[in-house]
Structure 1
Amino acid sequence: MVFKKFLRKHLVAYAFLGPATILLIVLLFYPIVLVVWNSFLDNSIINPSPKWVGLRHYRWALADRVFSKALKNTLVFTISSVALHLIIGLGFALLLNASINRRIQTFFRVLLILPWTFTVAIVAIIWRLLLDPLGVVNYLLSLIGLIKPGLVWFGDPQRAMQALILANTWGGYPFIMVSLLAGLQGIPVSLYEAGTVDGANSFQKFLYITLPQLKPVILSIGLLDFIWTYRLFELIWLTTGGGPGRATETLGTYIYKLAFTQYQFSRASAVAVILALTTLVLAIFYLRAQKASE
């Protein structure tokens, strides 16, 4: 009787959870386990009888110069992009939070959030066209004498990373802007009124009221943006493909090339596991930040 009551009470719930659980196992847990397992084998998938090699591929990855270059590029790209996202996002959020005409405010909100509505492929195409040697950016910069005409941004080893960071910043700042705008609108007006009574100017209000109130939001979205940017692949692959040379090679493009160009699936799996572990550490920091803010 007790067992029948238990079934009647929980069977419907388990029936609803069943399909989602199966999908998670098939689409998430199984691929993760497979990648980890392959990282300990000798060139799995191609080799019909792969041998267990333990941590050989991990030792190879940590000693590989290309891996070191890809990791360095990934950190430069991520830190620069996240910093620009926060600075530009905060600046636009402050402008949109200002007391101006409602119609003008709505117009600029729609205009500034527009890059967020585009897919990564469209962002890549837009910036490849803008930074084309005959594109509008080259024309304007050469007109005022900042660059020489015909500069190939994504093909220049010295400029490719800068162009990539610029494209990613443009496509990613709206999320930060919207999040910070919501945080700004949640700050009590009474705090600013008290600051005015105490004789604080606009900069002092921003420094001692706005920033401390936004600190939990900035920390949370900054870490989340860092995780997203750290593992970014699509935009880099569609603009530079990790080139020219290794100038914009990141961990994502390096893994792809190892697996599908060089067919070194086990080495690619090892680098993918390293990427996943470092991302997991960042995710733990993010969850702690969320918990602390609550």
Structure 2
Amino acid sequence: MVLPRRSWRDGLTSAQAQGWILLAPALAIYAGFALYPMIEVFVLSFQKWNGLSPAREFVGFANYIFIFRDDPVFWMALGNTVIWTALAIVIPPILGFLLALALNQALPGRNALRAVFYLPVVIAPIAVATMWKWMYDPFFGLFSTLLTDIGFQSFIPDWLGNRRIALYSIFAGYVWQHAGFSMVLFLAGLQGVSDSLVEAARMDGASRFQVLRYVILPALRTTTTVVVVLSLIQSLRAFDIVYGMTLGGPAQSTQMLALWAFTQSMQIHDFGRGAAVAVVLLLMTIAVIIPYLLWRARNDKAQGRSA
């Protein structure tokens, strides 16, 4: 007896078919505005193009060879990006977590405080850069004025002109803007922590630190993963605030990979090398995020089995 051949359509239920139909517009938009530009940048990284001429010249790996062997700015940008990323996945999430713990308590005006701390997140990064650049002004800025008023005018540094501290001065503005984003995610996670578990731990004599360590933090594993991944992606994409405050200076000391890709393409008019820098940045992002997600998945699975 010969069974009739079944096509893939026969395996689709009506619910699955409806799901694909509903997903189709979003998938089309994602393919047109995300996947296609990524593929185009990857192809462009193997070509030489000034952005104006209709013809593109295929140069193979010449762009990659140049940025790795003959471009010292690329290595400065890579080092700054690594430093920035290492700080960005630690400081804003920790600060956001502490704010979430404080604002999860029954405080007067709690909702207003939440809005105040979240407000910087909705401000455009270029506007944040303008604000902090004014505050760092050595003559009329807020910080210089405060130091002068308390008699420490001799200790006023050149916040954005000193190669040693310029990157960290910019990062302070970045923390001010992004800590509220981590705070909101952790606040949402704290709403899912069982009050009965917390009360049971306290009745058993657990201190506040022990409740935090053994009850709250394990319950926030998923939220922590989301916060770290999003913080990592945001840090690797850092562009606007650096561009608005220093343009990568002084002497390329605040140059970042995203900014250098933009500079190569839009200012030097070498879109091939700019695309090569962008591809390196994309590969860095994938190389960090995927192993982290796999590690967290294995860790959560192991903890689930032990529980």
Range class of TM-score, shorter chain = 0.7 to 0.9
- 2:17, 2:102 → 1: CA distance? 53
- Separation (CA, whole Å) in 1 of partners of 2:144 and 2:127: 20
Structure 1 unaligned blocks of 5 or more: 1-5
- The answer to whether the Cα contact below 8 Å between 1:223 and 1:282 also exists between their aligned partners in 2 is no
- 2:21 & 2:218 partners in 1: Cα distance? 47
State the partner residue of 1:95. 102
Q: 1:198 aligns with which of 197, 200, 204?
A: 204
Q: Which residue of structure 1 aligns with residue 4 of structure 2?
A: none
Q: Could you tell me which amino acid in structure 1 is paired with residue 107 of structure 2?
A: I
User: Which of 236, 259, 274 pairs up with 2:265?
Assistant: 259
**Pairs within 5 Å for 1:173-184:** 173-184=179-190
Distance 2:197 2:99 in 1: 22
Is 1:125 the counterpart of 2:120? The answer is no
Report the Cα distance in structure 2 between the residues aligned to 1:83 and 1:288, rounded to whole angstroms: 20
Aligned with residue 247 of structure 2, among 235, 241, 244: 241
SS of residue paired to 2:163: coil
Superposition deviation, residue 58 in structure 1: 1.3
Q: Using structure 2 for the length normalisation, give the TM-score.
A: 0.81
Taking the aligned partners of 2:116 and 2:54, their CA distance within structure 1 comes to 55
Deviation string 1:122-176 (CA, Å, 9 cap, x unpaired) is 2112211222222121222344455636643122212211111100000001110
8 Å Cα contact 1:85/1:176 also seen in 2: yes
- C-alpha change, 1:90 and 1:13, in structure 2 (3 Å) is closer
2:216, 2:22 → 1: CA distance? 45
Q: 1:50 to 1:161 in 2, by over 3 A?
A: same
Query: Which stretch of structure 1 is more off in the superposition, 130-139 or 172-181?
Result: 130-139
Specify every segment of 5 or more residues in structure 2 that has no aligned partner in the other structure, as ranges.
1-9, 302-307
Separation in 1, partners of 2:206, 2:24 = 59
Task: Identify the residue that residue 217 of structure 2 maps to in structure 1.
Answer: 211
Is the contact between residue 50 and residue 269 of structure 2 (CA under 8 Å) also seen in structure 1? Answer: no
Q: Distance in 2 between matches of 1:74 and 1:11?
A: 44
Q: Contact between 1:155 and 1:244, CA under 8 Å: does it hold in 2?
A: yes
User: Are residues 238 and 11 of structure 1, via their aligned partners in 2, closer, same or farther at CA, if it must alter by over 3 Å?
Assistant: same
Bigger CA drift: 247-256 or 258-267?
258-267
Aligned: 1:70 with 2:77: yes
- Gap change, CA 1:114 and 1:278, over 3 Å in 2: same
Structure 1 window deviating more from structure 2 (217-226 vs 165-174): it is: 217-226
Letter in 2 for 1:121: I
Cα distance between partner residues in 1 of 2:57 and 2:117: 54
Q: Which residue in the other structure is 1:3 paired with? A: none
Distance in structure 2 (CA, Å) of the matches to 1:275 and 1:116: 24
Whole-angstrom CA distance in 2 between matches of 1:112 and 1:17: 35
One-letter amino acid matched to 1:265: F
Aligned pair 1:109/2:114, yes or no?
Answer: yes
Note the 1:217-228 alignment, pairs <5 A: 217-228=223-234
Q: Letter of the 2:101 partner, please give it.
A: L
8 Å CA contact 1:242–1:250 kept in 2: the answer is yes
TM-score (normalised: structure 1): 0.84
Looking at secondary structure, tell me which structure has more helix per residue: 1
Counterparts of 2:264 and 2:278, CA distance in 1: 10
SS of the residue corresponding to residue 160 of structure 2 reads helix
Query: 1: distance between equivalents of 2:18 and 2:105?
Result: 51
- TM-aligned CA deviation for residue 281 of structure 1: 3.1
Q: Deviation string for 1:193-248 (max 9, x for gaps)?
A: 22222222222222222222223211221121111111121111111111111110
The total of aligned residue pairs comes to 286
- The percent identity for this pair of structures is 31
RMSD: 3.0
Equivalent pair of 2:136/2:143 in contact (CA under 8 Å): yes
State the SS of the aligned residue for 2:48. coil
Question: 1:121, 1:234 within 8 Å by CA — same for their partners in 2?
Answer: yes
Q: State whether residues 157 and 247 of structure 1, in contact with CA within 8 Å, keep that contact through their aligned partners in structure 2.
A: yes
